[in-house]
Amino acid sequence: MKKKSILKTMLSPVLVPAAKTYLKKERTARFFGLSLKIPSGTFHPTLFFSTKTMGKYLQDLPLRNKKILEIGCGSGALSILAAKKEGQVFCCDIQPEAVRSTLANAKRNQVEVKAVLSDLFTDITEKEFDLIINNPPFYPKDPSIPEEHAWYAGKHYEYFQQLFKEAPGYLTKAGEILLVLSDECNVELIHQIAKENRFDHQVVYTRNTWLEKTYIIRYKIPI
């Protein structure tokens, strides 16, 4: 077994509980030049590689005047970064504190985003997005408390089933979804769920770190 695999096996049962403990207190963070406050229980954008990987990729995208939806905005890091690049940004989260945090952080960083409380698309009233971005939960377990929705996608990846089933109703014809995924999740199963809902996929960015490999994957319905 490779050293990285051994290390992941040892650390995986520890990392999520440790992060939850760390996030019991309000924290501050710097994220690609943004100043953020992270309230208790809200996913921290710098603790894991996923949000930083998506942030790095977004920095190189032309987002000006693009209509963008972030699902699961957390503290608002990615939405605010997209707004800094002159995107028209909407976002949502299942946690009320995350929505409040996103709006406060947007004001702190002098940009405007629209944030609402929503479980995926349940309460999204806007349509015709050019881009949906998502740093999704991807551990195959049913969440038992609200905070666990940031980590667990359901035992059978119900999160992704709902995401790909409903997303076509919110995208333009040329619209696309960007997900950041890790080699810790069942990427092939997620691709299969997407395919069942007519989405093709393309790996557009890969980041190999000391602990895991993260991917930015573009999902799009062929025109």
How far lies 116's CA from each of 27, 62, 71, 74, 141, in Å?
22, 25, 10, 12, 25
Domain span holding position 57: 3-220
Checking if the pLDDT of 21 tops 70, the result is no
Count of structural domains within the chain: 1
Euclidean distance between CA atoms 120 and 143, whole angstroms: 15
Phi-psi region of 198 (alpha: psi -120 to 50; beta: other; left: phi over 0): left
Give the CA angle between residues 42, 45, 50 to the nearest 5°: 120
pTM value surpassing 0.85: yes
Q: If you average pLDDT over every residue of the chain, what do you get?
A: 90
CATH code, 196: 3.40.50.150
Euclidean distance between CA atoms 194 and 60, whole angstroms: 25
136-147 residue pLDDT tens = 998 999 998 888
Please give the full DSSP string across 61-105, using - where no structure is assigned.
Answer: S--TT-EEEEES-TTSHHHHHHHHTT-EEEEEESSHHHHHHHHHH
168-214 residue pLDDT tens = 999 999 999 999 999 989 999 999 999 999 999 999 999 987 778 99
